[in-house]
Amino acid sequence: VGFRWSTRAKLDELGLQGTATNRDDGTVVVEACGDNGALDVLEGWLCGPQVPGAVSRVRVSRTGNEPGY
């Protein structure tokens, strides 16, 4: 379905650094770092109807000492 490819393209479009990686259990982990506003847009895109594939759950965890992690 191109989920990882599309997610990486969205990261680039939003000026975020990050990855979209398959896990052994079939889930995909998206890690992103950058501007909080861009991270909000990414989260909305991941939860929205435009994302390719079937997303059943999005869990967000913002960590790090600097805003935008």
The yes-or-no answer on residue 57 being catalytic is no
Catalytically annotated residue among 8, 22, 23, 62: 22
Strand partners, 28: 22
Cα angle 34, 9, 12 (rounded to 5 degrees) comes to 35
DSSP annotation of 57: -
Catalytically annotated residue among 4, 8, 23, 62: 4
Place of tokens 């909000």: 40
Active-site annotation, residues: 4, 22
